[in-house]
Structure 1
Amino acid sequence: FLHGGGFEFGSVRSDGELAARLGRASGMRVLFPEYRLAPEHPFPAAIDDVLAVWRWLRTAQALDARSIAVAGDSAGGGLAVALLVATRDGGEPMPAAAVLMSPTVDLTSSGASMTERADQDPISTPAMLRQFASDYLAGADPKTPLASPLFAQLAGLPPLLVQVGTADLLLSDSERLAAAAAEAGVDVTLEIGEGLPHVYQLMLGTPEAAEATGRIGKFLRARLR
């Protein structure tokens, strides 16, 4: 499980409950790495750490890639897609499936929802998201595929479940990622929650979060050995 927080914040304290809930729903153990954060550790530190954890699971723990899934919210969702792209490009076995909750996959901030949903998102502002992106990139090209995996080639990726709400500045990230993945032949499911905010799955005790967790568990149980 890869936590969100704009590549600058987040830890097991902010996202641990959600990660544990997904583990219970799917009947799986959960590993929660705390990757290095910007601005002290800009791109590619986070994805380097994620790849190191993946390779440790595969080698030191001798786990079959087909028995492992990756899930992430917001920035962690973007890192999850970057992990898939990097392992595919490196000729390594990929996770069996991925769950992406309001993923950040376009650091150019070019999605239509960045302006169209600005008055609906109760959490983020366009300026805040652009600042997070700038701090993380530290001068790197925002279209670099491992930073903004929307611009990566997506063919050959494992099944994806993407969940996002309509009251989210990053709605367009999910919509465009799902469309591009489907066009590339990836098995992708996009679930859009009407009126729901960024990473609504974090809202413990709400029926919307419980239903989303249940669907994630069903998705993972159906696709992992």
Structure 2
Amino acid sequence: MSIAELGRIRARLAARPRPADLAARRERLDGLGAEYALPPDVTVERVVARAVPAEWTGTAAADPARVLLFLHGGGYMAGSLASHRHVVARAGREAGARTLALAYRLAPEHPFPAALEDALAGYRFLLDQGFAPERIALAGESAGGGLAIATVLSLREAGLPPPRCLWLSSPWVDLTLAGGTLASKAALDPLLSRAYLAELVAAYLAGADPRSALVSPLDGDLAGLPPMLIQVGSAEVLLDDALRLAAAAGVADVPVTLRVWPHMIHAWHLFHPELEEGRASLSEAGSFIRSHLDGAGPP
């Protein structure tokens, strides 16, 4: 690991603390992504996926029959196509697949279940386009990770086939905020805190029950979910969410791979152009997705 690389990222984040204004917060996260240009061979195409703004990315080497559906992070209040475009493009390259990123609706303007409705619309759009479920991987970062699991639970309720696999990066799956690392990792995480997460919960739920499986899927029935890769950094307050999710999935007989990346901060994939571990973790995710979309992964 390059301590210097991570130190520079931490210093840059400390120099640009989260503003109080919502619009400024959204601009700040978009700005993190805007710092990194896409490689010249990546194509970008805007599309509307059943009324949800979305974006295809791909390269000439991507298999057109395979797709990675991506749900960005941002605590259900921020994040966009712009903030995560470089991450999505790199993940698609590693997976050898096209990618479809969704600009799902955000709180507080659009509280729960708006984001979930949009995620389901995006998945149905892929089915409309003729993608076979066994050639779809569903991914989410942070809030997007919890949203990805909620999407699969909702697909099951609707009698629709699930995606072939799940890639979850630092998933936020317990909106009751019961994780022990919210306190024990508070001094190490430069992006998240218990107080900030509580603010996000209030805005997203708008009075809904935080124990609902569709907002805190850690409490849901995970039996029958697709194989999942969970990646989390050891220096983030959501570490315990990932650990408990892996345990719950294992108890439910779901094939699960948990990778704890030492010293990594929340959403370290965002910084992959300058962080070796960011590139390595995206390569790991790509290999996982390839293996399952190839049919080589466990059932």
TM-score, normalised with respect to structure 2? 0.74
Aligned to 2:57: none
Q: Distance in 2 between matches of 1:173 and 1:190?
A: 12
Is this contact kept in 2: 1:100–1:161, CA < 8 A?
Answer: yes
Structure with the higher fraction of residues in strand conformation: 2
Query: CA offset at residue 89 of structure 1?
Result: 2.4
Q: Which residue of 1 aligns with 2:71?
A: 2
Figure out how many residues of one structure are paired with residues of the other and give that number.
224
* CA distance in 2 between partners of 1:224 and 1:146 (Å): 26
Question: Using CA pairs below 8 Å that are at least 6 residues apart, which structure has the higher relative contact order?
Answer: 1
Q: Match for 1:176 among 244, 256, 268?
A: 244
Letter in 2 for 1:181: A
- Which residue does the alignment assign to 1:93? 161
CA distance in 1, matches of 2:275, 2:196: 27
One-letter amino acid of the structure 2 residue matched with residue 74 of structure 1: S
- Structure 2 counterpart of 1:11, which letter? S
**8 Å CA contact retained: 1:160, 1:189:** yes
Asked which structure has the greater CA Rg, the reply is 2
Which amino acid letter does the alignment assign opposite residue 169 of structure 2?
M
1:23 equivalent among 79, 92, 99: 92
Could you tell me how far 1:85 is from its partner in structure 2?
1.1
Aligned to 1:159: 227
Please give the alpha-carbon distance, in whole angstroms, between the structure 2 residues aligned to 1:158 and 1:90.
Answer: 16
1:148 paired with 2:212, answer no
Looking at structure 1, the residues matched to 184 and 107 of structure 2 have their Cα atoms a distance apart, in angstroms, of 28
Rounded to whole Å, the distance in 2 between the matches of 1:209 and 1:67 is 25
Match of 2:195 among 127, 148, 156: 127
Between stretches 188-197 and 198-207, larger displacement belongs to 198-207
Specify the code of the residue in structure 2 equivalent to 1:210. R
Question: What is the Cα deviation at residue 90 of structure 1?
Answer: 2.1
Q: 1:192 aligns with which of 245, 260, 279?
A: 260
For 2:289 and 2:131, the matched residues in 1 are separated by: 17
Unmatched tracts of structure 1, length 5 or more: none
Distance 1:125 1:211 in 2: 26
Show the counterpart of 2:170: 102
- TM-score when scaled to structure 1? 0.98
Shift of 1:86: 1.1
Q: What SS does structure 1 have at the residue aligned with 2:232? A: strand
Counterpart pick for 2:120 among 37, 51, 62: 51
1:203 shift after superposition: 1.2
Corresponding residue of 1:75: 143
Q: Does 1:220 align with 2:264?
A: no
Identity of aligned residues (%): 47
Q: Does the 8 Å CA contact 1:104/1:170 hold for their aligned counterparts? A: yes
Aligned match of 1:113: 181
One-letter amino acid of the counterpart of residue 176, structure 2: T
Query: Is the contact made by 1:76 and 1:103 (CA closer than 8 Å) also made in structure 2?
Result: yes
1:93-136 Cα shifts (integer Å, max 9, x gaps): 00000100001111001000111111111111110011001100
**Higher mean displacement: 82-91 or 41-50:** 82-91
Contact 1:88 1:156 in 2 (8 A): no
Paired amino acid for 2:84: D
Q: Distance between the aligned counterparts of 2:285 and 2:241, measured in 1?
A: 19
Structure 1's consecutive aligned runs of 4 or more residues displaced over 6 angstroms after TM superposition are: none
* One-letter code aligned to 2:71: L
Which letter does structure 2 place at the counterpart of 1:25?
E
Q: How far apart, CA to CA, are the structure 1 residues paired with 2:132 and 2:191?
A: 38
Within the alignment, does 1:62 sit opposite 2:141 as a pair? no
